[in-house]
Structure 1
């Protein structure tokens, strides 16, 4: 089972779309809510280099936001990432 971490906010429609895509794929997501936690937002920015949500990591690899995730799905590479149990550093 892949380890998926998503930095998100409660009001973000792209976060909800990412949740739905992951649900469709049958995988569990560790959701880190940054709404009321400036330290977590700083952590997200440091790890991803981005300030927008969602920011998604699969097995330690930053894959980007929802549009990046949807592009991986359309290209057929998301399923391979979700099948991999090995951490992909970076």
Structure 2
């Protein structure tokens, strides 16, 4: 889930850079920009940095286990080939 503060910051920056005539409608524009950003980003398949880091750690542990099992299998094959 996208942090609402980030969306507020983006919509604030965009609305503050509008021409003077449009800044009178700044709060309306800011609210509409935020809603539009939430809708657009909500359709994307995004994960938080924390979720990404957790999955990366799981993947690293899994790779280490696979490498250990491959090594063990190679040793067993070597032993069975010598007999």
TM-score, structure 2 normalization: 0.26
- Structure number with the higher helix fraction is 2
- Structure number with the higher strand fraction is 1
Which of 1 and 2 has greater Rg? 2
Q: Which has the higher contact order (CA 8 A, sep 6+)?
A: 1
TM-score, structure 1 normalization: 0.25
